[in-house]
Structure 1
Amino acid sequence: MLLASLNPAAVAAGADIGDAVRIDGVTLSRSDLVGAATSVAERVAGAATVAVLARPTAATVLAVVGALIAGVPVVPVPADVGAAERRHILIDSGAQAWLGELPEDSAGLPHIPVRLHARSWHRYAEPSPDATALIIYTSGTTGPPKGVLVSRRAIAADIDMLAAAWQWTAEDTLVHGLPLYHVHGLVLGLLGSLRIGNRFIHTGKPSPQNYAQAVADGGSLVFGVPTVWSRIVADGDSARAMAPARLLVSGSAALPVPVFDGLADFSGHQPVERYGSTESLITLSTLASGERRPGWVGLPLEGVVTKLIAEDGTAAPHDGETIGALHVQSPTLFDGYLNRPDATAEVRSADGWYHTGDVAVIDAAGMHRIVGRESVDLIKSGGFRIGAGEIETVLLAHPGVSEVAVVGAPDADLGQRIVAFVVGDASPEALIEYVAQELSVHKRPREVRIVDALPRNGMGKLLKKQLLQEF
């Protein structure tokens, strides 16, 4: 059963807690979840696909859970998505109705409201593990967003793999303030909690103070993206308030080493870092019981196999230095892009390997470090292959730098020249010299631009293609 802790028979027999989910000022027990979500299931059973405006509310929780009980695929739609992108998602997915909250522009779809206090105890057969649970749309950096088909089997496998890696049990209280339309917040945070059976607290706004309060309320397993952790570290009191937690987890983007170190210094916890994507879910992680190395995302989870492919198509050595394209085999892989067999074939081979589009290095112990995206983070300059992430890590250690993004700009002589966009108060000349002293000279930026802010999406990921448009 995908949402194992919501087994109606077990809940009816008393396997309930009074505070299973806390979100947006609403507290739901497991009995509340089963009764209200089953009422939702009765209203959507038989639908092909439903769209859910994925704001962090109790209505969203019940909409997603109800559709999963009924075996209806859910399309989580960000509340802040633009009108054109929303229309594309709705048309491409074939969503038949809005379930839960209704956006201002409904695009002509009917609306099925969620009633928090409605109850039904109808029993639904568990859908096939191979059935699609979610259709999650990617960011669309290379064209219109693509719908990623995520099966129930993949979600269950990933949660179980992470439970083993993080020693995650029903005794935990999981805390996060992340969106409910991506893997991190929705699959790991919410569905993970409903499978494992732990208590779940959504902080609402992901402020340092809200995170600190949630840990004070018993939070033991805390999820955040680097932007959140950076703000927590900047607020020393909130970082110190993380000390009672059992495990801090960072993902969705690379965690800067100074933030890793700051969390360790203030809270006594070295954060766990992990790696994955919408297409693969989470496949790599450092372990609750193992080494946590700043800037490295750990080992393959149980059942996951990786390989590193060099530019000439051969296997890249696992020497901790050589950069290669990362490929993954995993029971958590997606079933393809909706309506896009051509795009699916580009990234999934006939023998089951997924080409992640990321470049990485692997050391002799099997630890992985993600260099970045092949398209924007692998810089080919003067005959050298250079990872933007390595330069960013060094620049972030400079006291005059608070944020940085390194890109490869077109250059007639070098092919690409290294350009750093920096938020901070150091001089460009000083930063160029600093990198030249810390790394090989050919890795120094040829240009440093001081900016007020860097473009990011809702998950805090840098939008480097926006920076490259300047060139």
Structure 2
Amino acid sequence: MRLLAGLTGSDVPAAVAVAGRALSAEALLAAATAVADDVHGAATVAVDATPTLETVVAVTGALLSGAAVVPVPADAGPAERDHILRDSGAVLVLGRDVPVDVRRRSATAYAPPAGDDTALVMYTSGTTGAPKGVVLTHAAVEAGVDAVAEAWDWTADDRLVHGLPLFHVHGLILGVLGALRRGSPLVHTGRPHPARYAAAGGTLYFGVPTVWSRVCAEPAAARALRRARLLVSGSAPLPVPVFERLSALSGHRPVERYGMTETLITVSSRAGGERRPGHVGVPVRGVRTRLTRDDGTEPPADGETIGELWVSGPMLLRRYHGSAEPPTDHGWFRTGDLATIGPDGWHRIVGRASTDLIKCGGFRIGAGEVEDALLTHPAVREAAVVGTPDADLGEAVTAFVVADGVGERDLIDFVAGHLSVHKRPRSVHFVDSLPRNAMGKVQKKRLML
């Protein structure tokens, strides 16, 4: 099939290795075809998406069969899991109802699916209710993978290394299907431990900010990545101090990119171009972007004025599962993310409109800017900023930080000395840790309870 084009005729010694277990391209295709034989005729198939070789074989096999694949998060609780299986209409679960044996082999030939056939139904995090199923076609996934491959100069000569979850866009669509489409060997480290990254010998590495922060905390591991070609960070904003430290230790200024489940990757810096701390680059091939104010007008592209980001391109979702409402407005998808766009087209993501735009005393403040300022303080290890109700200001800038040896007034004054005074936190709460999801994103709504 087209999405898995890199499997056919590949001569790499190990197409995929997960936590030390490997399959050649030929063996992977034969094992996946055996899975396709098991599920052929099923319209929708769920996969228990654990960080294992079985998950890679199961997803590949289900796609070969023509089924729509529903990755079930490995850390899903009973209620979330039941909702995903019930809502998606999956008729069976690979790894539970149908065992996956990577030693089995089959040579059955399957016709490639049509471009508008459903490839994946990916469930969102459900921060505003029950998770919603995002329906992605084969054509959308192919367009998304090909666009980032062009931006990152990703070829079959690369050796991709990552340890990301196999139920998100970053770890599964880019990190597995992307490698199979490009024909590049994949080494999944099981977990994204710095030592495993250092030992993997890759040319291309994927990570989220939490991964890169932990790599930087082990300088020997970071220095081992000097042999790589490209380090990519995504799924959440990479704090500027982490960007700079990773660059100093590894010799690589990381590529940052922006995307979401509904759109795949739409904006990225380039392998052969500039990489700016705190920015995610420019639109990838086939993508258009725009900003919109609350009143529907478009703010100036001055790099400072905040608006909600809208995107258009061939990698967008077809629809939400079970919904008849179109997910786009004349081809434009409203992301719910706040951004600025500079005169040169460079994008900076400020945060989510629902949690990261703080309207304080008549000012519109992006939480991400305040977080970046806090993180430059040597005592601060983590920071999250939200707006909390205030009778006088409307919303007050409120910070939650993980820090040692510093006081609330010190941090308030520190931010006031780096940014406009009105952007300073009005209060700072010291916590032992910030609540995060599997991809390392801070779950701000939990801080606001």
TM-score range, shorter-chain basis? Answer: over 0.9
Does residue 16 of structure 1 match 2:17?
Answer: no
8 A Cα contact 2:203 2:229, kept in partner = yes
Distance 2:323 2:398 in 1: 35
Aligned amino acid, residue 439 of structure 1: L
What residue number does 2:91 align with? 96
Distance 2:22 2:373 in 1: 44
Question: Aligned to 1:444, which of 403, 413, 424?
Answer: 424
Question: Aligned to 2:336, which of 331, 341, 357?
Answer: 357
Distance 1:205 1:59 in 2: 15
Distance 1:63 1:235 in 2: 34
8 A Cα contact 2:308 2:337, kept in partner = yes
Question: Aligned to 1:286, which of 269, 275, 278?
Answer: 269
Deviation at 1:453, TM superposition (A): 0.4
Deviation at 1:118, TM superposition (A): 1.3
Deviation at 1:468, TM superposition (A): 1.2
Distance 2:308 2:101 in 1: 48
Distance 1:56 1:417 in 2: 41
Distance 2:153 2:301 in 1: 28
Does residue 44 of structure 1 match 2:29?
Answer: no
What percent of counterpart residues are identical? 59
Does residue 423 of structure 1 match 2:402?
Answer: yes
Distance 1:73 1:377 in 2: 34
Secondary structure of 1:2's counterpart equals helix
Deviation at 1:25, TM superposition (A): 2.6
What residue number does 1:178 align with? 164
Aligned amino acid, residue 278 of structure 2: G
Aligned amino acid, residue 378 of structure 1: L
What residue number does 1:106 align with? none
Question: Aligned to 2:186, which of 184, 200, 216?
Answer: 200
What residue number does 2:447 align with? 467
Does residue 394 of structure 1 match 2:380?
Answer: no
What residue number does 1:246 align with? 229
Does residue 33 of structure 1 match 2:28?
Answer: yes
8 A Cα contact 2:20 2:189, kept in partner = no
1:294-331 superposed Cα distances (whole Å, 9 cap, x missing partner): 00000000110000112221111100000001000010
Aligned amino acid, residue 423 of structure 1: V
Structure 2 unaligned regions, length at least 5: none
Distance 1:313 1:135 in 2: 31
What residue number does 1:105 align with? none
Aligned amino acid, residue 166 of structure 2: L
Distance 2:378 2:274 in 1: 27
Secondary structure of 2:354's counterpart equals coil
Distance 1:468 1:253 in 2: 19
Distance 1:296 1:6 in 2: 34
Deviation at 1:120, TM superposition (A): 1.1
Q: What is the correspondence of 1:158-307 to structure 2 with a 5 Å cutoff?
A: 158-215=144-201, 219-307=202-290
1:255-304 superposed Cα distances (whole Å, 9 cap, x missing partner): 00011000111111000000000000000000011110000000000110
Distance 1:194 1:186 in 2: 11
Distance 2:197 2:90 in 1: 35
Distance 2:108 2:49 in 1: 26
Secondary structure of 2:3's counterpart equals coil
Secondary structure of 1:290's counterpart equals coil
1:101-155 superposed Cα distances (whole Å, 9 cap, x missing partner): 22xxxxxxxx111121211111111000111111110010111000000111011
Deviation at 1:424, TM superposition (A): 0.3
Distance 1:259 1:79 in 2: 28
Does residue 116 of structure 1 match 2:102?
Answer: yes
Distance 2:382 2:88 in 1: 37
Please identify runs of 4+ aligned residues in structure 1 that moved more than 3 A: none
Aligned amino acid, residue 277 of structure 1: M
Question: Aligned to 1:68, which of 63, 68, 74?
Answer: 63
Aligned amino acid, residue 99 of structure 2: P
Q: What is the correspondence of 1:75-154 to structure 2 with a 5 Å cutoff?
A: 75-99=70-94, 101-102=95-96, 111-154=97-140
Deviation at 1:16, TM superposition (A): 2.5
Secondary structure of 2:135's counterpart equals strand
Aligned amino acid, residue 268 of structure 2: S
Deviation at 1:340, TM superposition (A): 2.4
Question: Aligned to 2:48, which of 29, 34, 53?
Answer: 53
Distance 1:248 1:52 in 2: 29
What residue number does 1:326 align with? 309
* TM-score in terms of structure 1 length: 0.94
Distance 2:126 2:323 in 1: 13
Deviation at 1:39, TM superposition (A): 1.0
Q: CA RMSD in A?
A: 0.9
Distance 1:26 1:450 in 2: 42
Distance 1:437 1:56 in 2: 45
8 A Cα contact 2:43 2:66, kept in partner = no
What residue number does 2:415 align with? 435
What residue number does 2:6 align with? 5
What residue number does 2:352 align with? 373
Deviation at 1:17, TM superposition (A): 2.2
Secondary structure of 1:458's counterpart equals coil
Distance 2:422 2:324 in 1: 41
1:425-462 superposed Cα distances (whole Å, 9 cap, x missing partner): 22110000011111111100000001100000011000
1:221-256 superposed Cα distances (whole Å, 9 cap, x missing partner): 000000000010111111111100000000000000
8 A Cα contact 2:54 2:100, kept in partner = yes
Aligned amino acid, residue 427 of structure 2: E
